[in-house]
Amino acid sequence: MTYIIAEAGVNHNGSLDIAKKLIKAAKKAKADAIKFQYFNVENLVKKNAEKAPYQKKNDIKKNTQYQMLKKYEFGIDKFKVLKNFSKKLNIDFILSPFDLSALYQMKKFLNPKIIKIASGEITNFQLLSELNIDKEKIILSTGMSNIKEIVDACNIIAKKKFLEFKNKKIIIRNQKIFNKIKKKLTILHCVSSYPASDQFLNLNAITMMKKNLRLNIGFSDHSEDIFASIIAVSKGAKIIEKHITLNRNMKGPDHKASVEPKVFLKMVKSIKRTNKILGNPIKKIQNSEIQNLKPARKSIYAKKNILKNEKFTKENLIVQRPFVGICASKYFDLIGTKSKKVYKPGQIIKLVR
């Protein structure tokens, strides 16, 4: 089944009350987890750093990235409250650390079982090297990256070069480490545009990553609706992460790339239906089909009078419904053999010993 993360991000707008409402909304929308972003602005960004283009568009205030993010900063005490609140509602609580201090605080006070690494941190080897794949499951987003950068990040997380990207191919250098990493690391295909338009979503990359990385692959969806997430599940995505907001018209950088709770619930229901429709990769007769075997398949019947010891031929045999005797697939096995009894036209052919 698909693990579904409701990405609250900074859509709490700096309010603990809104953050709790987002958790409630995610639970009501049947998400498996709620996720927030944990950062210390002092460590995250230079004070004079400009906002990203999408941040300028979605947050029209003429301020720096530092000033914008400062009002969305939550400390560890608030995240303790939110984790406990999530626990009461029986929804998983996940954080994305954006700097070492955030990661250390998480490890010390929250004992995270899952840590999500945002796309912008895929080259932050300082942060990646402090992850402990033995204790935590890691989800790594890959927006703005290429396959070599993904391989390099995986090796840093593993603290061992178990993968190599050579001649446009990914080679497993250490099978034992690979087997361990595969159980703990999921790679999310992602396009870091907010919102991401259809022409850039490139969901076929999920198929490529599954084939070449041979790790669990998911999708972090920044599109404006839920269609891409449903397609991603059909491509084999094991995790879907989608931004959630209480209202897309709220002020803030990520609300426009988020969906509201009712739409999120529709997405979850659609994903569950997609999983049900996809089934498993084994081709077999389904239970619902068994009742149709007899009336739909065919048996072998006498087309005309057939004498005892007469040879069965294409002229004296016919294949017709229903399937109550010898399967039509045995037609050519009968041709040329001798009949053990007399048959009248329309009579079913039986094996007589």
Flag whether pLDDT at 58 surpasses 70: no
**pLDDT digit string (tens) for 145-177?**
999 999 999 999 999 999 999 988 999 999 999
**H-helix or E-strand spanning residue 308:** none
CA 38/CA 105 separation, integer angstroms: 10
pLDDT at 179: 97
Q: Which of 96, 187, 93 lies closest to 140 in space, CA to CA? A: 187
Residues near 346 by beta carbon (within 8 Å), at least 6 away in sequence: 301, 302
**pLDDT digit string (tens) for 270-313?**
999 999 999 988 999 999 999 999 999 999 999 999 999 999 99
Flag whether pLDDT at 121 surpasses 70: yes
Flag whether pLDDT at 338 surpasses 80: yes
Domain limits, CATH 3.20.20.70, in the chain: 3-278
**pLDDT digit string (tens) for 185-217?**
999 999 998 889 999 999 999 999 999 999 999
pLDDT at 56: 65
Alpha-carbon distances, residue 49 vs 41, 53, 68, 69 (angstroms): 12, 12, 11, 11
Strand pairing partners for 244?
A: 259
Q: What is the dihedral of CA 121, 55, 5, 124, to 10 degrees?
A: 0
pLDDT tier for residue 351 given thresholds of 50, 70 and 90? confident
Q: What is the dihedral of CA 111, 114, 120, 123, to 10 degrees?
A: 90
If one counts every other C-beta atom within 10 angstroms of the C-beta of residue 276, the result is: 9
pLDDT tier for residue 47 given thresholds of 50, 70 and 90? confident
pLDDT at 61: 67
Alpha-carbon distances, residue 168 vs 5, 154, 165, 206, 211 (angstroms): 32, 17, 6, 17, 13
Flag whether pLDDT at 83 surpasses 80: yes
Flag whether pLDDT at 50 surpasses 80: no
Alpha-carbon distances, residue 222 vs 63, 218, 251, 283, 351 (angstroms): 24, 13, 17, 34, 64
**pLDDT digit string (tens) for 100-120?**
999 999 999 999 999 999 999
Flag whether pLDDT at 230 surpasses 80: yes
Flag whether pLDDT at 64 surpasses 80: yes
**H-helix or E-strand spanning residue 279:** none
Tokens linked to 43? 């460590």
Tokens linked to 152? 């390099």
pLDDT at 213: 96
pLDDT at 209: 96
pLDDT at 272: 96
Contact 327, 301 (CB under 8 A): no
Mean pLDDT rounded to a whole number for the chain:
94
Flag whether pLDDT at 232 surpasses 70: yes
Write down the residue that tokens 């399967």 correspond to.
327
The CATH number of 3-278, from 3.30.420.10, 3.90.1300.10, 3.40.50.720, 3.20.20.70, is 3.20.20.70
Helix %, strand %, coil % of the chain (to 5): 40, 20, 40
Q: Are strands 317-320 and 299-302 parallel, antiparallel or unpaired?
A: antiparallel
C-alpha triplet 77, 12, 187: angle, nearest 5°: 85
**pLDDT digit string (tens) for 233-264?**
999 999 999 999 999 988 888 888 899 999 99
